[in-house]
Amino acid sequence: MKTFCGRANPTTGALDWVEEGEEYDFHQEIARSCYADMLHDHDRNEKYYQGIRAAVARVKARGEKVIVLDIGTGTGLLSMMALTAGADFCYAVEVFKPMADAAQCIVEKNGFSDKIKIINKHSTEVTVGPDGDMQMRANILVTELFDTELIGEGALPSYEHAHQNLVQEGCEAVPHRAIVYAQLVESELLWSWAKLQHIEVEGARLVPPPAVDLCAGAHSVCDIQLSQVPPHNFTPIGPVCTMFSVDFSKPVSSAHQTHSSHFLAQFSGQAQVVLSWWDIDMDPSGSIVCSMAPNWTYPEPKMAPWRDHWMQSVYFLPAEKRVAEGEELSLTVCHDDYSLWYSLGADSKQGTETEALPCRPCCTCQAHLVWTRPRFGELNDSHRTETYVSALRSVLKADSVCLGVSDGSLLPVFAHMLGAKKVFSLENSRMSKQVIEEVLEANSMKGHVQLLEIRPDQLTCNDLGGEQISVLMGEPFFSSSLLPWHSLFFWYCRTALVNLLQPSATIMPHSATLHMVAVEFQDLWRIRAPCGTCEGFDVQPMDEMVQRSLDFREALEPEPHPLWEYPCRALTQAKAVMNFDFTQCVPQQPISSRGLLPFLRSGNCHGVALWMEYQLTEDISVSMGLTGPVNGQGACEWSRHRKQGVYFFSSPWESSGDGRASVSYNLTFEPSLGDIKMEFTLESL
């Protein structure tokens, strides 16, 4: 059975109707989950298995029959671990039906179907009794309900319900407890993701709107690979603090709670950011620990386990606060049933005034709803600003009529500051328009830049006051873009505006190039690696059907990833492989590019990284990928502001680095689809 799904095309701006097969949701949802990453997380699997074996042994030592409840079973791996460890029966709960069906297949394939019952329900809907889903309450509770923030997947309500209804009093729990840690720091890099800062343009200062400056920010956690933020990018204001712990073997409350840690400031500086992570103890003694700590907390950073399904969290204080070395501080964490937030006050134990109980941060300025955190960092990047200002300065004239085409962009503001006669800007949403209006008002520029909430193909000469455009400019940046080439939407806008452009109009950027390099990932390859027998545990956690789902993405398109968080080595040179001329309209015929990239370094090639570079003027360009040359060992430095595209190969290609093997590429840009079809093969001499 086929169905048609309507999707907004991020490149062309059109609504596309796509025919999908009946297994679409199954493939897509499993493909987008983190099951492959978790199954390749040897440290996680080993610690869970050790904890489960110990819990089973403790129950057996009491002479009891071992009944296990596994909430959020996923592939059924933890339930199979429990049976292998000697459990008598397992109830495995999985609310997501496609995954529950997959778990059933996996359990049957491994010969455990008579001792594992898959229950396709939310755990809070599971019943116990002769006619219920479970015949009796369990005496071992096994779960993997955690996310980067620990509680974001509803762990607390699930545990609360399980203790009240599904498990015996005094049950064993694996994991046994979780401990949340935090460290208060000053970081120019991280703070640039939280607030719009002052921007210098030609000796003038662009100030943020008061509402943006005072806003507490977005309530959602910023989860990143904190190991890739080197210690020189932040200054610890305080020590690593134990904020709170949760004992999962006892009744758990999902009620709002507040915990504080008191300490003396180690350095004078601006308290801005809280770095946070958690550990889980798999046993009561705390001898089996699975830690999420970043690698720079380890004596040997290379020994830190890598995982992408659990990372670390960055929280931004509602406002930065100047503190002095030796000052007594109180860091407070609050949580409801799904999220955490932090605040900083004076130490109440010393009798000093404390801040009121902090409320959950909520954006009141709308800027945090319009701009993502990487986008804030991009807008606050002074080098980037200087690059765009230099390009604008070289193309603007006193009589220039400018039109900006980007989402929530400050380029039109810069154009006015540089003396353009008239400046217009197309905004994709009312919210985005309102944020830029507040920027203009805060800088006494209201009316000098006219914001138009209208589609490019609907814009008329009347909307421009009878003027024709002499400078069409864009970063380009669009909030709907996922993959690098989706920003070619600028080209489609330019084409729609052709009748409003002066014959000699300047297009900035005037062109773009798609670049690629074949890479060996240090760790990211794990999210796409085939799953078979888990290392150290003799069961097959994946069957062919589930593996096909995890491989499904490769047949569709590359994936967007912020590669600054995922170290890799370039095995070939970086090369421009496709050109797009914005001075001309989008062509009707496809653009094709073929070629070879010889391997220059030995290693396992996991795929290719792809990004866009924009030629603003003849001598000024900006890269959304590599920010500098690849060094002799192949190390790459990537832009923190944009995601790059990654095309994973189904299995690694081994390179000897002697130039006798190459990556052969065949790329075709389809103008009607706004997409690039890609084919890669390994060529050997």
User: Which residues belong to the active site?
Assistant: 144, 153
Q: Is 356 exposed, middle or buried (0-12, 13-18, 19+ CB in 10 A)?
A: exposed
CB 546 within 8 A of CB 513: no
CB 140 within 8 A of CB 174: yes
- Taking the CA atoms of residue 529, residue 534, residue 540 and residue 543 in that order, the dihedral angle to the nearest 10 degrees is -20
Would you state the structure tokens that stand for residue 347, as one six-digit string? 């130490």
In the beta sheet, which residues pair with residue 575? 516
Q: How far apart are CA 635 and CA 653, in angstroms?
A: 19
Q: How far apart are CA 347 and CA 18, in angstroms?
A: 59
Q: Give the DSSP H or E segment for 615.
A: strand 602-615
Phi-psi sector, 315: left (phi>0), alpha (psi -120 to 50), beta: beta
Q: How far apart are CA 48 and CA 75, in angstroms?
A: 14
Report in angstroms the alpha-carbon separations of 105 from 38, 43, 185.
Answer: 19, 25, 48
Q: How far apart are CA 11 and CA 489, in angstroms?
A: 4
Task: Report, in angstroms and rounded to the nearest whole number, the Rg of the chain calculated over CA atoms.
Answer: 28
Q: How far apart are CA 393 and CA 414, in angstroms?
A: 9
Q: Please, where are the H alpha helices in 33-125?
A: 35-39, 42-61, 77-84, 97-109
Strand pairing class (469-473; 501-508): parallel
Reference 36, options 530, 522, 545; nearest CA is: 530
Q: How far apart are CA 380 and CA 199, in angstroms?
A: 7
CB 142 within 8 A of CB 70: yes
